[in-house]
Amino acid sequence: MRSKEKVKVPENLLSFLKEKDTFFIATHINPDGDAFGSALALSMALETLGKHTVVYERDSVPAFYRFLPGHERFINSISNLKSQISNLILLDCNTPERAGIEGMKFEYSAVIDHHKTEKDFGDIKWVEPDAAATGLMLFYLIKALGIPITKEIAINLYCAIAIDTGTFRYNNTTAEVLQVSAELIEAGASPAYISHNLYETWSRGRFALLIAALNTLEIRDDVAIIFVTQEMYQKTGAEPADTENFPNFPRMMKDIKVTALFRELDNNYWKVSLRSKGDMNVAKIAALFDGGGHENAAGYRIRADLKSAQETLLQAIPQKATV
Q: Buried b vs exposed e over 259-280: b needs ≥16 C-beta within 10 Å?
A: bbbbbbeeeeebbbbbbbeeeb
> Distance (Å, rounded) from C-alpha 52 to C-alpha 42?
11
SS3 of 23, please? strand
CB-based contact 133:160 (threshold 8 Å): yes
Give whichever of 13 and 209 is closer to a second copy, judged by the CB atom.
209
Q: Is 254 in the site for a second copy (CB under 8 A)?
A: yes
- We find the least distance from the C-beta atom of residue 115 to a second copy, in angstroms, to be 20
Q: Is 269 in the site for a second copy (CB under 8 A)?
A: no
> Distance (Å, rounded) from C-alpha 23 to C-alpha 84?
10
CB-based contact 38:139 (threshold 8 Å): no
SS3 of 124, please? strand
Beta bridge pairs of residue 274: 260, 298
Q: Applying CB under 8 A, what is the total number of residues that bind a second copy?
A: 45
- We find the least distance from the C-beta atom of residue 193 to a second copy, in angstroms, to be 8
Sheet-wide strand order for 292-293: 218-220, 223-228, 258-266, 269-276, 297-303, 292-293
Q: Is 215 in the site for a second copy (CB under 8 A)?
A: yes
Give whichever of 49 and 185 is closer to a second copy, judged by the CB atom.
185
Give whichever of 118 and 129 is closer to a second copy, judged by the CB atom.
129
Q: Is 49 in the site for a second copy (CB under 8 A)?
A: no
Residues in 173-212 at the binding interface with a second copy, rule: CB under 8 A? 173-176, 178-179, 181-183, 185-186, 190-192, 195-196, 199-204, 206-207, 210-211
Q: Is 95 in the site for a second copy (CB under 8 A)?
A: no
Q: Is 315 in the site for a second copy (CB under 8 A)?
A: no
Q: Is 221 in the site for a second copy (CB under 8 A)?
A: no
CB-based contact 113:133 (threshold 8 Å): no
State how beta strands 52-56 and 124-127 pair: unpaired
The total number of residues written for the chain in this structure: 323
Q: Is 34 in the site for a second copy (CB under 8 A)?
A: no
* Per-residue 3-state assignment (H helix, E strand, C coil) for 51-108: CEEEEECCCCCCHHHCCCCCHHHEECCCCCCCCCCCEEEEECCCCHHHHCCCCCCCCE
- We find the least distance from the C-beta atom of residue 35 to a second copy, in angstroms, to be 22
Give whichever of 199 and 269 is closer to a second copy, judged by the CB atom.
199
CB-based contact 149:161 (threshold 8 Å): no
- We find the least distance from the C-beta atom of residue 274 to a second copy, in angstroms, to be 16
> Which residue among 214, 220, 231, 305 contacts a second copy (CB under 8 A)?
214
Q: Is 241 in the site for a second copy (CB under 8 A)?
A: no
SS3 of 120, please? coil
Q: Show the binding pattern over residues 144-173: x = contacts a second copy (CB under 8 A), - = does not.
A: ----------------------xxxxxx-x
Residues in 272-301 at the binding interface with a second copy, rule: CB under 8 A? 277
Contact positions toward a second copy, by CB under 8 A? 3-4, 166-171, 173-176, 178-179, 181-183, 185-186, 190-192, 195-196, 199-204, 206-207, 210-211, 214-215, 217, 219, 250-255, 277
